[in-house]
Amino acid sequence: MPETVSIRSLPASEAPARLAELAHVLHDCVEGGASVNFLADFTPEQAEGFWRGQMPGLEVGDRALFVAEEAGRIVGTVILFFAQQPNQPHRGEIGKMLVLRSHRGRGLGRRLLAAAEDAARAAGRTLLVLDTADGSAGDRLYRACGWTAFGTVPGYALTTDGRPEAATFFYKTL
Confidence of residue 148 (pLDDT cuts 50, 70, 90): very high
Q: Does residue 1 have a pLDDT over 50?
A: no
Q: Across residues 111-117, what is the average pLDDT? A: 98
72-85 residue pLDDT tens? 999 999 999 999 99
Provide the residue type at 10 as one letter.
Answer: L
Q: Does residue 2 have a pLDDT over 70?
A: no
Q: Which residue has the higher pLDDT, 35 or 131?
A: 131
Q: How many angstroms from the chain centroid is the CA of residue 69?
A: 15
Residue 101's alpha-carbon distances to 76, 122, 167, in angstroms, are 10, 30, 21
Phi, psi values for residue 96, rounded to 5°? 50, 50
40-95 residue pLDDT tens? 999 999 999 999 999 999 999 999 999 999 999 999 999 999 999 999 999 999 99
16-36 residue pLDDT tens? 999 999 999 999 999 999 989
pLDDT of residue 35: 86
Which domains does the chain show, CATH number per domain?
5-128 (3.40.630.30)
* Least-confidence region, from 2-16, 45-59, 98-112, 136-150: 2-16
**Residues constituting the chain:** 174
Q: How many CA atoms within 13 Å lie on the side-chain side of 66?
A: 26
**SS3 of 16-56:** HHHHHHHHHHHHHHHHCCCCCCCCCCCCHHHHHHHHHHHHH
